[in-house]
Amino acid sequence: MVRQIINPYKEAVDIVKEMGGEALRLCYQCGLCTGACPWNVLKSFPVRKLMHEAQLGLLDFEAEDMWACVTCGNCVQQCPRGVEIIDVMRAMRRTIVALGVGPVPDSLRVTMKNLAGTGNPWGEPTEKRADWAQGLNVKPFSNGAQMLYFPCCTTAYDASVSRIGKATATVLQKVGASFGILGSKEACCGESARKAGDEELFQRLVQENTAAFAESGASTMVVSSPHCYYTFMNEYPIAQNGLQVLHSTQYLAGLLREGKLKFSKEVKKRVAYHDPCYLGRHSGVYDEPREVLSSIPGVELIELPNNRENSICCGGGGGNVWMETKPGERLAEVRAEQALDVGADVLALACPYCMLMFEGCLTQDVLDRLELRDITELVAEAM
């Protein structure tokens, strides 16, 4: 079929070109992005071709490819022409959502609707947002507290991930930190809404949360999710409001350096650390998690073949955490295999989405051999 350079969705294409900006025009079609993309191990995902289609305005908005990018940033980091590939992917989705030029995957549509209605991806009642902390004696944030803890929706609502919140609260209590939570006053940071193309919803969540943070008067915030961390640091007007944001591993590393993190037990395990995309590549935090892990008595820290800048996505970024992942297309499995290959007993994580993805993707057989633990859990266990 001969395809003409005339697109029925001119307006849509223009939006993509504009958002991709000057950098998109610079793409010289070398194909490094396709090769750098973690998907190419499992399936065909023609990143370079999408860039060229975007340049020429020949995008097929109905294709599944519109939704595959996990926004891991591996391609952007290496692109020789500095193309902001993730921005282009985001622009394509945004166009689809805003102008209806193509289908949005069902599961994602439901998630966005829930987010819009209740401020969390499951549509759970707002009042239950603090339920994870029941029985832990965690206080609502008050002006006297030094620190606000922001757990992430997944930590707050997902039964199997809430252990991250619990472990974090326990550690904070044990080191005697004065902290509190906002509970029903906070909402999702909106990162995945934005990556899924729902810009309007994202902007609304930014406003709601910014107002809530301002009202609380908090000056320091510790977060469990690298996605929240990245978004607050880069896409919220947080700095203007004088709020310092720390990922839990940064906070723990700080305590460690000040000599305030003390351990009393050994955790005799071979631990491999999986760098989350939004903590590593997107935020440049590589050392703190390793510092904390290697300080735990008994822990033998080993590196995965793809580590630090070269880490592989769990498959959950870019809204994929809310979408179906077909068997055989699970990056988490690739990652778990790497961990088992290097002889790890534990795969240490630092991101609620990663936890959710690994829990959901790995078979029981693998889970029996490879424990999934958040770094805060390992710290709590050793204290």
Partner 1 sequence: MEEPKIGVFICHCGTNIAGTVDIDEVREFAAGLPGVVSARDYKFTCSEPGQLQIKEDVKNLGLNRVVVAACSPRMHEITFRKAVAEVGLNPYLLQIANIREQDSWVHKNGSTEKAKALIRAAVQRANLLESLERREVPVTPSVLVVGGGIAGIQAALNIANANHKVYLVEREPSIGGRMIQLDKTFPTLDCSSCILTPKMAAVGSHPNIELMTYSEVEDVSGYIGNFKVKVRKKPRYVDSELCTGCGICIEKCPWKTDSEFDMGLGKRKAVYTPFPQAVPNVPVIDPDVCVYFEKGTCRACEKFCPPGAIAWDQKEETVELEVGAIIVATGYDLLDPSPLTQYGYKRLDNVITSLEFERMCSATGPTGGELVLKDGSAPQSVAIIHCVGSRDKNYCEYCSRVCCMYALKYSHLIGEKTDADVYQLYIDMRCYGKGFEEFYKRLSDEGVNFVRGKVAQVTDQVAGEEEQGKLVVVTEDTLLGRMLRIPVDMVILCPAMVARADADEVARRFLINRGADGFFLERHPKLEPVATASDGVFVVGCAQGPKDIPDTVAQASAGAAEALSLIDRGTVEIEAATAVVDEEMCSGCKICLALCPYNAITFDEEKKLANVNDILCKGCGVCVAACPSAAITGRHFTDKQIFAEIDGLLADVKPPLVAV
Residues found near partner 1 in the complex (CB under 8 A): 28-32, 34-36, 40, 44, 46, 48-49, 78-82, 305, 310
Exactly one of 16, 75, 104, 336 binds ligand SF4 (CB under 6 A); which one? 75
Pick from ligand SF4, partner 1, none: which does 27 bind, CB < 5 to 8 A by kind?
A: ligand SF4
Exactly one of 13, 16, 19, 85 binds ligand SF4 (CB under 6 A); which one? 85
Exactly one of 14, 18, 30, 125 binds ligand SF4 (CB under 6 A); which one? 30
Residue 370 backbone class (left: φ over 0; alpha: ψ -120 to 50; beta: rest): beta
| 3-state SS, residue 105 | coil
Tell me the C-alpha distance between 175 and 186, whole Å: 25
Phi, psi dihedral angles at 239 (to 5 degrees): -60, -40
Examine residue 74 and tell whether it contacts ligand SF4 (CB under 6 A). yes
Q: Is 173 exposed, middle or buried (0-12, 13-18, 19+ CB in 10 A)?
A: middle
Tell me the C-alpha distance between 165 and 151, whole Å: 6
| 3-state SS, residue 223 | strand
Largest CA distance in the chain: 70
Exactly one of 73, 165, 280, 319 binds ligand SF4 (CB under 6 A); which one? 73
Of the pair 80, 237, the CB lying nearest partner 1 is at 80
- Name the token pair of 196: 């899924």
In angstroms, give the least distance from the CB of 367 to partner 1.
Answer: 25
CB of 277 closer than 8 Å to CB of 73: yes
Exactly one of 3, 11, 29, 142 binds ligand SF4 (CB under 6 A); which one? 29
Of the pair 48, 166, the CB lying nearest partner 1 is at 48
Strand ranges of the sheet holding 220-223, from the earlier edge strand across to the other edge: 179-180, 147-150, 220-223, 244-247
Exactly one of 12, 16, 51, 133 binds ligand SF4 (CB under 6 A); which one? 51
C-beta neighbour count of 343 within 10 angstroms: 10
Tell me the C-alpha distance between 221 and 214, whole Å: 12
Examine residue 71 and tell whether it contacts ligand SF4 (CB under 6 A). yes
Pairing of strands 147-150, 371-374: unpaired
Of the pair 36, 147, the CB lying nearest partner 1 is at 36
In angstroms, give the least distance from the CB of 29 to partner 1.
Answer: 6
Total residues in contact with ligand SF4, by rule CB under 6 A? 26
In angstroms, give the least distance from the CB of 187 to ligand SF4.
Answer: 26
- Name the token pair of 161: 């991930």
In angstroms, give the least distance from the CB of 277 to partner 1.
Answer: 17
Examine residue 188 and tell whether it contacts ligand SF4 (CB under 6 A). no
In angstroms, give the least distance from the CB of 37 to partner 1.
Answer: 9
Pairing of strands 346-349, 269-273: parallel
Exactly one of 16, 66, 79, 164 binds ligand SF4 (CB under 6 A); which one? 79
Q: What residues are paired with 222 via a beta bridge? A: 149, 246
Residue from 255, 261, 232 nearest 146 by CA: 255
CB of 132 closer than 8 Å to CB of 165: yes
Q: What residues are paired with 148 via a beta bridge? A: 180, 221
Of the pair 89, 357, the CB lying nearest partner 1 is at 89
In angstroms, give the least distance from the CB of 106 to ligand SF4.
Answer: 21
Of the pair 310, 325, the CB lying nearest partner 1 is at 310
Examine residue 43 and tell whether it contacts ligand SF4 (CB under 6 A). no
In angstroms, give the least distance from the CB of 46 to ligand SF4.
Answer: 10
Q: Which residues bind ligand SF4 (CB under 6 A)?
A: 27-33, 36-37, 39, 47-48, 51, 69-75, 79-81, 83, 85-86
